[in-house]
Copies of this chain bind each other. A is one copy, B any other.
Amino acid sequence: MTTTETSKRVETVNLSIPCASDYVGVVRLAVSGIATRMNFSIEEIEDIKIAVSEACTNAVQYAYDDPSNSRVEIECHLHPEQKLEIVIIDTGNGFDVEATAKSKQENSILSEDANLDDPNSVPSLGLGMTFIKSLMDEAEFISQPGKGTTVRMAKTI
């Protein structure tokens, strides 16, 4: 993990949280701790925190009809070539990744016909997946309807 370690293997930290918004911040803290120890720069750590936050938020918001008994799994793989790979897994409804990528932002706040009347239901920006792709060096979305979604992302120092 650091220069004092001679390990040339992938080391893994696993985290498993209830599928609830309360715990997304805990994941960010743990991941930022790992990234700090790997000696990522402050800017890189901020990028990683945002990307992880987006993926966990999506799992919390969209994966399950009833999230109350559901969980989100987070795997952090520390590669010896100073690459941090993070995998966020839910076993929820899944979604059509390609169709979503195409239609994104159509119902966004920023479109003129977005309905802003209900202050309790804020339309999303449709930026989550875009942020993950732009902030990380690698990003992959694998989703199967009824089986769940796996978001794999990685950044190298």
Given contacts A12-B18, A14-B16, contact A34 B26 (CB under 8 A): yes
How many copies of the polypeptide does the oligomer hold? Answer: 2
Report the minimum CB–CB distance from A34 to chain B (whole Å).
6
Contact: B13 with A23, CB < 8 Å? yes
Contact: B13 with A1, CB < 8 Å? no
Q: Does A81 make an interface contact (CB < 8 A)?
A: no
Contact with B along A1-17 (1 / 0, CB 8 A): 11001010001111111
Q: Does A20 make an interface contact (CB < 8 A)?
A: yes
Q: Does A145 make an interface contact (CB < 8 A)?
A: no
Give complex CA distance A89, B86 in Å.
24
Give complex CA distance A18, B75 in Å.
12
Report the minimum CB–CB distance from A100 to chain B (whole Å).
29
A1 — which chain B residues lie within 8 A by C-beta?
20, 22-23
Q: Does A146 make an interface contact (CB < 8 A)?
A: no
Contact: B16 with A2, CB < 8 Å? no
11 contacts between A and B (CB under 8 A): A1-B20, A7-B68, A11-B20, A12-B16, A12-B18, A13-B15, A13-B17, A13-B23, A14-B14, A22-B37, A25-B33
Contact: A37 with B13, CB < 8 Å? no
Give complex CA distance A26, B37 in Å.
9
Report the minimum CB–CB distance from A13 to chain B (whole Å).
5
A37 — which chain B residues lie within 8 A by C-beta?
22, 25-26
